[in-house]
Amino acid sequence: MKRKILIEPDPILRKKCEPLEQVNNEVRRLMEEMLETMYDAPGIGLAAVQIGILKRLVVIDITKDEKKKDPLFLINPVIIKKSDKTSIYEEGCLSLPGQYAEIERPAECYLKYVDLNGKEKELKAEGLLSTCIQHEVDHLNGVLFIDYLSKLKKDMIIKKLVKHKKEIKRIVV
């Protein structure tokens, strides 16, 4: 089932998410729904908090080819090391529709996480995957990419989103 994605400003997006205690079928089903919601959007990553669930769960698929899906399921991801070298990507966020900005982040990161079988894994990421992982782990801590912009740029984006949300409401009502 496809879920509704929360749009900033929304106080839920600013909450810190709780670690998951055990991986069971309910969690596997939830992460499949997150993946469906992400593909449908479409996006390359989604954190559970974006659909209102305050758990440390992330799905990612950065492959462009629609036929060759390559999903990554991250439970309780922890970034254990970041490179000094940085890279800049133009980021978007499904919770900030239509808004994009160039963000500088560590180019490489090392990640520890639990997979869908409850097994501890490690991963070294670079390029877009590294940026996406850092963007998603930020979500788990209530951080959005606009938090890295100047107050002026951030306020401008939030103002646009407030207007956007009012327009959506007007259409629905």
Q: Please measure the distance between the N-terminal and C-terminal CA atoms of the chain and give it in whole angstroms.
A: 24
Q: How far apart are CA 107 and CA 105, in angstroms?
A: 6
Among 75, 93, 107, 111, binds Ni ion (CB under 5 A): 93
**Known catalytic membership, residue 136:** yes
Q: Which is nearer to ligand GNR, 5 or 114 (CB)?
A: 5
Size of the residue set binding ligand GNR (CB under 6 A): 17
CA distance 88 to 105: 7
- 28's enclosing H/E stretch is helix 25-40
When binding is defined by CB under 6 A, the residue of 46, 51, 72, 129 that contacts ligand GNR is 46
- Among the residue ranges 11-19, 87-95, 146-154, 156-164, the one whose residues contact ligand GNR (CB under 6 A): 87-95
d(CA 23, CA 90): 34
* Minimum CB–partner distance for residue 91 and Ni ion (Å): 8
Between residue 128 and residue 147, which ones bind ligand GNR under the rule CB under 6 A? Answer: 131-132, 135-136, 139
